[in-house]
């Protein structure tokens, strides 16, 4: 049976940005990839108004997921930059419900243990995903789910990503799917424009000529982001003897079970 890969992405582009090559590889291998987009990305622009941006980013997310070979995304619809203001446990409950509904073999999410994450939505999704993975196996946590026919579920494989690959113990070889990742990222046109403009604004404060320094094209946001992603993937790959890689903190079972499995091997 094909595996089910469930991805908890804080914003419409995060799945592609942090794990696009890995998700494309799963899809190529025949696995089912389901991306949960938690927020609407309404704050990620220096130009568009929020309502226009929400519609654009949802359409871009659909095209990005399709480029990876994933199913149409699930949109939870929370407003950007509000996850830290939700009632305690609300996001965790929604993630537990999704884990019990989809019964994934693999979950991909932000790493709650990685330091230095500056975005509150990323921190909120990371913590809710970590807590949900631990609680989805417990029948007395949200027993109303069981009354609805949703059974408890243990996720065997967890791929946690972090900015800069902090805490990584596994690298996935994405040499054959890097271009697919870049194609999917390019579908997120509004976010690529926003990311590049943010960097260029900072560069201008220090009179840095980005174009001459890196040979990129600041007027081509997708191209500049592709250059950055390829450079990053190559650096990760060099550390682990592959051409291009994506880094994760990978976990499976309780440490005691891992010890027993290691002894058996």
In the prediction, which pLDDT does 30 show?
98
- On the CB side of 126, CA atoms within 13 Å amount to 20
In the prediction, which pLDDT does 110 show?
96
- DSSP 8-state code for residue 84: G
Instruction: Locate all alpha helices (DSSP H) within 32-104, ordered by sequence.
Output: 50-68, 90-102
Query: Edge-to-edge strand order for the sheet containing 74-78?
Result: 74-78, 32-39, 4-9, 106-110, 157-161, 245-251, 170-173
In the prediction, which pLDDT does 253 show?
81
- CB-count exposure of residue 39 (10 Å: 0-12, 13-18, 19+): buried
| Residue 8 · residue 110 · CB < 8 Å | yes
Q: Could you tell me the domains of the chain?
A: 4-259 (3.40.50.10320)
Q: What is the pLDDT along the chain (265 residues), one digit of tens a residue?
A: 899 999 999 999 999 999 999 999 999 999 999 999 999 999 998 887 899 999 999 999 999 999 999 999 999 999 999 999 999 999 999 999 999 999 999 999 999 999 889 999 999 999 999 999 999 999 999 999 999 999 999 999 999 999 877 789 999 999 999 999 999 999 999 999 998 888 888 888 888 876 666 655 556 888 888 989 999 999 999 988 999 999 999 998 877 777 777 777 6
Vertex 17 angle, CA 221 and 1, to 5°: 140
List strand residue ranges (DSSP E) for the chain, in order: 4-9, 32-39, 74-78, 106-110, 157-161, 170-173, 245-251
Residues found in the chain: 265
CA–CA separation, 12 and 191 (whole Å): 9
In the prediction, which pLDDT does 207 show?
84
In the prediction, which pLDDT does 217 show?
58
> Dihedral through CA 160, CA 258, CA 174, CA 75, nearest 10?
-40
| Integer angstrom CA distances of residue 215 from 133, 159, 186 | 43, 34, 19
- On the CB side of 171, CA atoms within 13 Å amount to 21
- On the CB side of 31, CA atoms within 13 Å amount to 20
In the prediction, which pLDDT does 199 show?
81
In the prediction, which pLDDT does 213 show?
65
């Amino acid at each position: 049976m094909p595996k089910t890969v469930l991805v908890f992405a804080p914003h419409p582009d995060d799945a592609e940005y942090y794990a696009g090559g890995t998700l494309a590889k799963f899809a190529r291998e025949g696995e089912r990839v389901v991306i949960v987009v938690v927020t609407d990305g309404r704050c990620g622009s220096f130009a568009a108004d929020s309502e226009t941006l929400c519609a654009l980013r949802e359409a871009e997310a659909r095209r990005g997921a399709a480029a990876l070979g994933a199913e149409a995304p699930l949109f939870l619809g929370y407003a950007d930059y509000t996850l830290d203001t939700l009632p305690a446990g609300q996001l965790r409950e929604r993630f537990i419900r999704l884990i019990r509904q989809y019964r994934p073999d693999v979950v991909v999410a932000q790493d709650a243990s990685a330091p230095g994450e500056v975005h509150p939505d990323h921190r909120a999704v990371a913590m809710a995903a970590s807590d949900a993975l631990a609680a989805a196996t417990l029948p007395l946590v949200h027993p109303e789910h069981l009354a609805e026919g949703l059974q408890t579920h243990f996720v065997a494989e967890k791929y946690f990503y972090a900015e800069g690959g902090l805490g990584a113990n596994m690298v996935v070889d994405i040499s054959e799917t890097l271009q697919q990742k870049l194609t999917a990222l390019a579908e997120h046109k509004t976010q690529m424009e926003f990311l590049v403009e943010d960097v260029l604004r900072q560069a201008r404060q220090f009179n840095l000529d980005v174009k001459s320094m890196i040979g990129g094209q600041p007027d081509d946001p997708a191209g500049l982001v592709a250059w950055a992603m390829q450079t990053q993937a190559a650096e990760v790959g060099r550390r682990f003897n592959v051409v291009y890689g994506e880094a994760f903190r990978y976990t499976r079972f309780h440490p005691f079970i891992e010890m027993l499995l290691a002894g058996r091997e």
